[in-house]
Amino acid sequence: MYSGMRGLSCTLSLLLLAFVTALSAPSPAPLQAQSPVPDIIFTGQFLTLDRAHPRAEAIAVSGGRIVAVGSRSDVEKLANNTTKRITFSGIALPGFADAHIHVGGIGEQLEKLDLRGLTKAAILARVAEAIRSAPPGGWISGGGWDEGFWQPQVFPTAKELDTVSGDHPVVLERIDGHSTWVNSKVLALAKISRDTPDPDGGLIRRDSAHEPTGMLVDHAQSLISPVVPKPTLADRERHIRIALLQFTRWGLTSVHDAGADLDTIAIYKDLLKRGELPVRVYAMARGEAAIKHYLETGPEPDLGNGMLAVRSFKLLLDGALGSRGAEMTDAYEDAPKEHGLQLMKDADLDQIVRAAHQKGFQVNTHAIGDRAVTRALDAFEKAGVTRDERFRVEHASIVTNADLLRFARLGVIASIQPVFVGEYSRWSEDRVGSSRVHWVLRTRDLLNAGVTLAAGSDYPASDSGLPIATLHCLVTRQSAAGKPESGWYAEQSVDVDQALRMMTAGPAFAAFQENNLGALTVGRYADFTVVSANPYQLPSKELRTLSIRMTVVAGRTTFDASSN
């Protein structure tokens, strides 16, 4: 079980003690006063996730950091006539963090067709509607579709899009972002034919006559890059701004951007310089140019008082389970000739891991299939990576029993996405079969093995980016929409306390920020999220009804529901 510090496991008795204490302990006196005159005092109900002092009525803030935590009367004694005071209703928790999210992709998705949860007929109708208002020959783009909502649950074809698209190119990303459905117009523009070979690490799905069906998987998606309109730098900044604003409304105080190129990092730095970065960003550098640049210049672990950090690399080892791109040791149950895709060779992986290790960078590997997870752990072990480097496996969706123990032994962090329970409950048993489905999204097994867990959403490559949805999915093993009723493999659920620590202390530790974030204690940044009710006291299936009342980063209110 996760302790929130260096991945040490907690016993069930300690967790129960913390739970009882959090509900019943009296408010402590201020733990410490580092500044005699706070800039601001926040008053309300705080659940600090500090086991020594789990409850408080007030915190005092100076220079963006907490300088006192305790009873309202005691904290007020530190104030003078320059101290600002804010009283809130609801329950304040350490700021919610998302350990794996795609910032620019969210802003971009908000400007495209959102196809989440739709039937194929509804998607075709949505495309037809968009075409009616598009300029002649204009591109139509969208994302979020999942054949798990269709009957039968089979991949779509270009010919189906052709019935509504006319002369318009149409590009629709699957929910996982690892495959794309295009119409015949796009195939023609990109010159993808029966003679086009599959690129390394990619797959052009084909029919019985070997003709492309309109489904491009993983690196095959790059075949349309030369013809798809490219967003400008201004477009990309707008997308990032849109996403960051959305995060404040969701109650997020920090996010780990799981794949930022040099242009994206430059946008973050510019926003930081102008004081316009409302959420802390832990950026994972991705792409050959970004990794080469940072290996030459070194990590940037703390920019702008913890608002931005670039000290990790994002690598992709395989694709996604839904697209059958996740790399499996044994073949897919529903495609006996397919084992998924290898997006990075072992030699290249070993080379980057060694270089990163030498230069003080963390490596975060996308690995979903059991074979990809094993290869990631092999590379880390071969390079002599220790617990102190905090290397991560992003997703870790399918983990064998042997690798479960290796995660703990090597001190590798599992960066998981609890909202995947929605997608996986729809089709993963079809993909991997009954003998392997118990390896899928095994949250409690990882905890019980002593593995450090950091929770994120992978949005927009998932059903929801809401941290409230992450909490709900962790505790109930239901999707963000509350399905299935009894939970999917409910024995892998965790309790509220464990879930909240995976959403706060877990990401903080995974970003080397546990001394500054993850709990409300003196000396840490004053980052907190106010929710509408006490999550410890709600029936588990009502967790998804929680709403965000306020979001605060370094003592600055970035969202206040009462004024929106």
Percent of the chain topping pLDDT 90: 93
Nearest Cα residue to 76 out of 53, 58, 55, 54:
58
pLDDT score for 478:
97
Q: What type of residue is 181? A: W
Please state the three-class secondary structure of 375-413 as a single string: HHHHHHHHCCCCHHHCCEEEECCECCHHHHHHHHHHCCE
Q: Which fold has domain 24-95+518-564?
A: Urease, subunit C; domain 1 (2.30.40)
Q: At what angle do helices 370-382 and 401-410 cross, to 10 degrees?
A: 30
CB contact set of 509 (below 8 Å; sequence gap of 6+): 4, 5, 6, 7, 390, 413, 452, 454, 518
Q: Which fold has domain 98-102+234-515?
A: TIM Barrel (3.20.20)
The pairing of strands 140-145 and 170-174 is parallel
Task: Find out whether 59 and 75 touch, Cβ atoms under 8 Å.
Answer: yes
pLDDT score for 251:
98
pLDDT score for 426:
95
CATH number assigned to the domain covering 113-224: 3.10.310.70
Q: What is the pLDDT of residues 343-365, one digit of tens each?
A: 999 999 999 999 999 999 999 99
* Topology alike, domains 24-95+518-564 and 98-102+234-515: no
The structure tokens 């270089």 sit at: 355
pLDDT score for 362:
98
pLDDT score for 157:
96
Asked whether the predicted pLDDT for residue 320 surpasses 50, the reply is yes
Q: What is the pLDDT of residues 133-179, one digit of tens each?
A: 999 999 999 999 999 999 999 999 999 999 999 999 999 999 999 99
Q: How far apart are CA 460 and CA 457, in angstroms?
A: 8
Please state the three-class secondary structure of 511-558 as a single string: CCCCCCCCCCCCCCECCEEEECCCCCCCCHHHHHHCCEEEEEECCEEE
Q: What Å distances lie between residue 58 and 38, 426, 472, 527, 558, CA to CA?
A: 12, 44, 27, 14, 19
**Average confidence (pLDDT) over 20-28:** 42
Q: What is the pLDDT of residues 395-404, one digit of tens each?
A: 999 999 999 9
Q: What is the pLDDT of residues 49-72, one digit of tens each?
A: 999 999 999 999 999 999 999 999
The domain limits of the chain are: 24-95+518-564, 98-102+234-515, 113-224
Asked whether the predicted pLDDT for residue 45 surpasses 80, the reply is yes
The pairing of strands 528-531 and 84-94 is antiparallel
Q: In angstroms, how far apart are the furthest CA atoms of the chain?
A: 80
pLDDT score for 564:
76
Asked whether the predicted pLDDT for residue 188 surpasses 60, the reply is yes
Q: What is the pLDDT of residues 81-121, one digit of tens each?
A: 999 999 999 999 999 999 999 999 999 988 899 999 999 99
pLDDT confidence tier of residue 18, bands split at 50, 70 and 90: very low
pLDDT confidence tier of residue 20, bands split at 50, 70 and 90: very low
In 3-state terms, what secondary structure has residue 111? Answer: coil
pLDDT score for 34:
58
Q: What is the pLDDT of residues 232-286, one digit of tens each?
A: 999 999 999 999 999 999 999 999 999 999 999 999 999 999 999 999 999 999 9
pLDDT confidence tier of residue 9, bands split at 50, 70 and 90: very low
Whole-angstrom Cα Rg for the chain: 24
Structure tokens at 527: 């980052």
Percent of the chain topping pLDDT 70: 94
pLDDT confidence tier of residue 37, bands split at 50, 70 and 90: confident
Asked whether the predicted pLDDT for residue 7 surpasses 70, the reply is no
pLDDT score for 8:
32
pLDDT score for 11:
34
Q: What is the pLDDT of residues 113-145, one digit of tens each?
A: 999 999 999 999 999 999 999 999 999 999 999
Asked whether the predicted pLDDT for residue 35 surpasses 90, the reply is no
